[in-house]
Amino acid sequence: MKRPLLITTGTMALAGLAFVLVNTLPGCRPTTTQTVVTGDAASKVYVKPGTHDEFYNMVSGGFSGQLAVYGLPSGRLLREVPVFSVDPETGYGYSEETKGMLMTSHGFIPWDDSHHPELSQTNGVPDGKWCFINGNNTPRIALIDLGTFRTHSIIEIPNSAGNHSSPFTTGNSEYVVAGTRFSVPMGDDAQRDVPISSYKETFKGTVSFIHPEPETGKMSIAFQIVTPAVDFDLSHAGKGPSEGWFFFSCYNTEQAYSLLEVNASQRDKDFIMAVNWKMAEQLAKEGKGKRVPGKHYSNWWNDKTHSSETTVIDDVLQLDPKEHPGLLYFMPCPKSPHGCDVDPTGKYIVGSGKLAALIPVFSFEKMQKAIAGNEVEGDFAGIPVLKYESVLHGEVKKPGLGPLHTEFDANGNAYTSFFVSSEIVKWNVEKLEVVDRVPTYYSIGHLCVPGGDSKQPWGKYVIAYNKITKDRYLPTGPELTQSAQLYSIDGDKMELLLDFPTTGEPHYAQAIPADLVKPREVKFFKIEENQHPYVAKGEKEARVERNGNEVHVWMTSIRSHFAPDNIEGVKLGDEVYFHVTNLEQDWDVPHGFAIKGAANAELLIMPGETQTLKWVPTRVGVWPMYCTDFCSALHQEMQGYVRVSPANSTVPLKGETVSVDAGV
């Protein structure tokens, strides 16, 4: 988000900050691109025409609610996967089959805000099977199947608000978590209708553990832990020695409910919350939890019926940590921590206090000792707070301003983004020493190293996802492109290679070697396996039927005609459902479908798939329909007509395709 920065005279002197004022203070510009980019950068990002990139980069669309897929190192946009928002390119959220994916307990939500893509893992390493992403505003988690690059499953999170510290995964994707940003009052209507000023007494947070079924990708909430009222920001699972634990950064331990900018920035330290999820899992298994109200939708895409299936669940299993000592601990962490990142060895947890001027690194081993030795400094709303000194591995001193988020390479280095000083700082995790720094243009938020939050980072690049673009690209009015920047981390010095524009806000991203994903790709849907209730397997099955005022058209498309392409007998007052089956059985031959006056949308149908457009004619006449996806030399011939008669008409219903030389 392009929010204005609060700049005081005291910070003006700091290099890196000044370019935020780039237009007013030309003299303070940082190093220019020319001096930063070295001669052979171009060859390092050049991907020869007809060849493929080395990595997939899954980048959130932020306020667009989608996920964009880029190739690295070229930065080429490959696909925008619709997730939490309708998509006029693919018909997602418009076709009758896909509408259900966006259903929630609040009804149909056409636009949400997506933040953190997280790749599924096997043995702590991204496996290329799925990509999860969180919907913030109406709390949901989505699972994208990397065989189809489609949203396969979406689950709503009850008793949640501002689903931000999500959807990070355990080492074998047993669970992905969803943590609340906003604490809210929960329970029945009377319990929820309370004065905002009763925040401390009545508001609660939750962290939910969601289980994706390995075979189907269907998701369910295994359990939900109730927490004191704070704001959770980000999270990460432990690994190796810390396997079985989950860490969440939290701010607003002041428990402010107004003007948080000031009121939630009072305390010296907020917390990292450590959750013993193995213990929670066990408690849930033993029936120690309580089922509480929490209506939520679970939507799943069925690849065989080419339709969404929705299940509504009324309650959720909750665990109260006050009843289960040992489940939760707080570790003090300086100043509103954002990133909460576990290094590849699983020994260290890095908190990035976005208002701090240092980076604290916690030791899991020390944390265990502190718990065993009861080294607590008190409690926060009933949860033990461990002593800062007891759990601290050490601090990186004066790394920069506004540390946000950290990822790692395989050589013991961490890369932390600094929003305020607009730079990436590389530092050694064991020694806590800064080894390199490089400016970003401008105001970096998250960053990404391929595999950089896993047990086995692939390294090679760090990518900066910037919040401000300013003068980097050709201007396009008040609204500018958002952007990312690719840096090489192969050498001792980080090296800027490429700027590339992005869609929406590139909030966070992950990258994975293309070879782990490519072999999974589905090229078309097998028509034999199509179980759509209105599939037409061949033109022989193409037909039109009336059911009251519903008219169903079983339609086929193939290069380059529809069957039927002449329909008569539709009357005003009818609802016409075009169920279009694409009969092609080869890669990259979608067909489209559009009809004049469709108040809803168009369709785009992949080979072997069936999709449905609902059309309610409002005027008598003969209405054209055609294929919208350029499919062959005769694409422009791929068209037909629907005749609409008055409500009392007796024109018989029929659909046909007439060939001038139909001999046989």
Partner 1 sequence: MMTACGGGDAANAGPPGAPTLEKETSSSEAASSSGKAKLLTDADVTLGDIDNGMVEKGKTTYDVKCQACHSMGENRVVGPGWKGITTRRKPEWIMNMIVNTDAMLAEDPEAQRQLEQCLVRMPNQNLSMDEARQVLEFMRTL
Q: Where do contacts with ligand HEC occur on this chain (CB under 6 A)?
A: 558-559
> What are the backbone dihedrals phi and psi of residue 122, each rounded to the nearest 5 degrees, phi first?
-125, 130
**623: which residues sit within 8 A by CB, 6+ positions away?**
595, 596, 597, 617, 641, 642, 643, 644
- The nearer residue to ligand HEC, 433 or 637, going by C-beta atoms, is 637
Shortest Å, Cβ 416 to ligand HEC: 55
Q: Which helix (H) or strand (E) holds 209?
A: strand 203-212
- The nearer residue to ligand HEC, 125 or 558, going by C-beta atoms, is 558
Given Cu ion, partner 1, ligand HEC, none, residue 659, with its beta carbon under 5 to 8 Å by kind, binds partner 1
Q: Which helix (H) or strand (E) holds 68?
A: strand 67-72
Cβ neighbours, 10 Å, residue 233: 24
Shortest Å, Cβ 554 to ligand HEC: 18
The DSSP bridge pattern shows strands 307-319 and 219-227 to be: parallel
- The nearer residue to ligand HEC, 434 or 558, going by C-beta atoms, is 558
**Using CA atoms, how far apart are residues 343 and 369, in angstroms rounded to an integer?**
19
Shortest Å, Cβ 597 to Cu ion: 20
Our finding on whether 627 is near Cu ion (CB under 5 A) is yes
- The nearer residue to Cu ion, 288 or 596, going by C-beta atoms, is 596
Our finding on whether 599 is near partner 1 (CB under 8 A) is no
Contacts to partner 1 from residues 15-74, by CB under 8 A: 50-52
Among 58, 161, 527, 551, binds partner 1 (CB under 8 A): 527
Residue (of 460, 464, 466) closest to 512 by Cα position: 460
Shortest Å, Cβ 545 to ligand HEC: 25
Given ligand HEC, Cu ion, partner 1, none, residue 636, with its beta carbon under 5 to 8 Å by kind, binds partner 1
Given Cu ion, ligand HEC, partner 1, none, residue 627, with its beta carbon under 5 to 8 Å by kind, binds Cu ion
DSSP for 121-167, please give it: EETTEEEEEEEEEEETTTTEEEEEETTTTEEEEEEE-SS-SSB-S--
Given partner 1, ligand HEC, Cu ion, none, residue 439, with its beta carbon under 5 to 8 Å by kind, binds none
99 close to 91: Cβ distance less than 8 angstroms: no
**Using CA atoms, how far apart are residues 519 and 210, in angstroms rounded to an integer?**
27
Shortest Å, Cβ 645 to Cu ion: 28
The DSSP bridge pattern shows strands 269-276 and 55-60 to be: unpaired
**Using CA atoms, how far apart are residues 6 and 114, in angstroms rounded to an integer?**
26
506 close to 484: Cβ distance less than 8 angstroms: yes
Q: Which amino acid is at 320?
A: D
Our finding on whether 663 is near partner 1 (CB under 8 A) is yes
Shortest Å, Cβ 633 to ligand HEC: 10
**Using CA atoms, how far apart are residues 233 and 620, in angstroms rounded to an integer?**
56
- The nearer residue to partner 1, 46 or 587, going by C-beta atoms, is 587
The position carrying tokens 């700082």 is 425
Shortest Å, Cβ 563 to partner 1: 7
Among 495, 539, 568, 574, binds partner 1 (CB under 8 A): 539
Per CB under 8 A, the segment of 4-12, 215-223, 438-446, 556-564 that binds partner 1 is 556-564
Shortest Å, Cβ 69 to Cu ion: 25
Given ligand HEC, partner 1, Cu ion, none, residue 310, with its beta carbon under 5 to 8 Å by kind, binds none
C-alpha dihedral sign at 435, 441, 446, 450? negative
Our finding on whether 76 is near partner 1 (CB under 8 A) is no
Instruction: Locate 406 and state its tokens.
Output: 């950290």
Our finding on whether 529 is near partner 1 (CB under 8 A) is no
Cβ neighbours, 10 Å, residue 610: 29
Our finding on whether 589 is near partner 1 (CB under 8 A) is yes
How many residues sit close enough to Cu ion to count as binding (CB under 5 A)?
4
Sheet-wide strand order for 383-386 = 231-237, 245-251, 269-276, 328-334, 383-386, 376-380
Among 349, 558, 642, 644, binds partner 1 (CB under 8 A): 558
Positions that interact with Cu ion (CB under 5 A) = 591, 627, 631, 638
Positions that interact with partner 1 (CB under 8 A) = 50-52, 518-519, 521, 523-524, 527-528, 537-540, 556, 558-561, 563, 565, 583-589, 630, 632-637, 640, 657-664
